[in-house]
Amino acid sequence: MGSLEEQSLLEDGHNNFQSESNGLYTGDGSVDIKGNPVLKRGTGNWRACPFILGNECCERLAYYGIATNLVNYLTKKLHEGNVSAARNVTTWQGTCYLTPLIGAVLADAYWGRYWTIAVFSIIYFFGMCVLTLSAAVPAFVPAECVGSVCPSATTGQYAIFFLGLYLIALGTGGIKPCVSSFGADQFDDTDQKERVKKGSFFNWFYFTINIGALISSSLIVWIQENLGWGIGFGIPALFMGISVASFFSGTSLYRFQKPGGSPLTRICQVLVAAFRKCSLPVPHDCNLLFETSDKFSAIEGSRKLLHTDELKCLDKAAVISDDENKSSDYFNPWKLCTVTQVEELKILLRMFPVWATGIVFSAVYAQMSTMFVEQGTVMDTSIGSFNIPAASLSTFDVISVIVCVIMYDRFLVPIARKLTGKERGFSELQRIGIGLFISILSMFAAALVEIKRLQLARDLGLVDKAVTVPLSIFWQIPQYFLVGASEVFTFIGQLEFFYDQSPDAMRSLSSALNLLTTCLGNYLSSFILTVVTALTTGGGRAGWIPNNLNEGHLDYFFWLLACLSFLNMMIYMVCAKQYKSKKSA
């Protein structure tokens, strides 16, 4: 270990440390796997990222190898209806983005990001193996349909299937909130060159996600539809094993951030301390509020945060009472919190309105694996003698993401940098807003395609027949492309925003909260489907989304999402304008 002065400077994260130690050590408090200050040369930076990006690419290939075509497995193999299958998919996907709260708390409070990723990756791999068995073993799958009679899955068959599915959901809980933050941890915040590279890392991180998704939505989906679901789930399971191996291979190159204790406990301490001192006045001079006299924060792995004037009721938690002054008892955080601890909670509350507007966007994104697929199954999927699986159209979303990431990183950012003077071209909030606008256009495109499809069904007298309409599935390409473009702006913008704006010791939690918008977006989509079905099927009507989509009005559902997205964007613009960035000491 280094000297006390050197450790203080490491945790304080000031640039002058680099000049005193000739730039040998990182200045952001990162350590090696043994907990010692870490040398910049030979660790972190882009040299460590291939192992992290490889892990993420293979894990996303495994995830999308299941998620992309799951709605078809439920309808074709487990014999569920359209609404039930779509609801099960969005509920599972929502759970995949809810469990990250578990992983985030473990990472920030106890295990650190590295060990959290490692443990939950193994759980994930086990879930993939169980899911593969549920599709490969004949006894675990319902019998094939005989004519129009399709036997339902038994309780046992559902049990083994959903056990595998929800073990995967639990596994994602330790990976998703940590892996992007762990990758960003490889770049030293106090080094200007590395800080700029970190902005580029988020773009390429999302790029690798979509490389995995591209393989899944094309090759894996084709294998599932043509060679069988057992091998179609088995290949993603194999890649999940490769993902685990890739992550462990880079251990000696990684930089680690120490866990800072439970962020939820610190939040509760601020609320309890502020309530206890609700009758005490807040001093006009913020320097009279309690803070450590050291150069670094009392929270492990966190730099100090400057006091802000908003939400002054929370400042009461840092007011030093007369009794505490007399007894010099400053060590009970349930009675007295530091300014930095109070500011952590303020930051989370300031981010909340921006966070909330991501829910509707995620509901729109969820349509790619549900309603877009079901729309595609009643369109012409043939090219000559070859039939394209409807789920494979998500390949165009992935292509859109890959193209847009390259265009954004290599061309748009340099141009925007010259115009705005910002290191990253656009601010995170500007980037998110652009993506929200594009998502509205994607719902417009989907609704227009459905209008054309329904019109053709009426013209050909196919309304009462549960058959495909002779309209090429390639009419769906624009809606997939627009969703992909919106992802590059909104999802990557959110990754940057929640990493940069979160307190140092809450970055995994902030990433989990970001992912929670995807969870709630999926649940919102399920809720909207349930309400729409209940309201539109009364009196014997087919409703907007019947099993025979030719007699429904799926276009109305897309218009509804477009309207909700427009309202959401208006609210976002107000929230983004009022947002104030965090200030580190």
**What's the pLDDT score for residue 566?**
96
How far is it, in rounded angstroms, from Cα 560 to Cα 533?
Answer: 13
Are 502 and 343 within 8 A, CB to CB? no
Letter string b/e over residues 184-206, b meaning 16 or more CB atoms within 10 A of that residue's CB: bbbbbbbbeebbebbbebbbbbb
Tens place of pLDDT for every residue, the chain, 585 residues? Answer: 333 333 333 334 444 433 334 468 777 678 888 888 888 888 878 888 899 999 999 999 999 899 888 888 888 888 787 778 888 887 888 788 888 888 888 888 888 889 999 999 999 999 999 999 998 888 888 878 777 777 878 888 889 999 999 999 999 988 988 888 888 888 887 777 777 777 778 888 888 887 888 888 778 988 988 898 999 999 999 999 999 999 999 898 898 888 877 888 888 999 999 999 988 898 888 888 888 877 667 777 677 888 888 888 899 999 988 887 777 777 788 888 888 899 989 999 998 999 999 999 999 998 987 889 889 988 998 887 788 888 788 888 888 988 888 888 888 888 888 887 777 778 889 999 999 999 999 999 999 999 999 999 988 888 888 888 899 999 999 999 999 999 989 988 888 888 888 887 888 888 888 888 888 888 898 889 889 988 988 777 878 888 888 888 899 999 999 999 999 999 999 999 988 876 665
Backbone angles phi, psi at 97, to 5 degrees: -105, 5
Round the CA-based radius of gyration of the chain to a whole number and report it: 26
How far is it, in rounded angstroms, from Cα 194 to Cα 198?
Answer: 6
How far is it, in rounded angstroms, from Cα 319 to Cα 278?
Answer: 10
How far is it, in rounded angstroms, from Cα 369 to Cα 93?
Answer: 10
CA 214 to chain centre: 18
**What's the pLDDT score for residue 570?**
95
Closest CA to 63 of 521, 439, 518: 518
Stretch (H or E) spanning 383: strand 382-383
Q: What is the DSSP letter of 316?
A: G
DSSP 3-state of 79 = coil
Stretch (H or E) spanning 471: strand 469-472
Token pair, residue 222, equals: 């084709």
DSSP-H helix ranges across 216-302: 221-226, 229-249, 263-276
